[in-house]
Amino acid sequence: MKIEVLNLTATEKRVLLLFDSAGLSPEDEKVDEYLHANELEPKRQYSETRDGKEYIVYYFGNCYLEDHLGQLSALAGEAQPQA
Q: Does domain 2-76 have CATH number 1.10.357?
A: no
Domain locations along the chain: 2-76
58 to 10, 28, 48: CA distances (angstroms): 22, 12, 10
Tens of pLDDT, residue by residue over 14-56, are 999 999 999 888 888 899 999 999 999 999 999 999 989 999 9
Total Cβ atoms within 10 A of residue 17: 24
What number of helices (H) and strands (E) belong to the chain? 3, 4
d(CA 66, CA 72): 10
Global confidence as pTM: 0.84
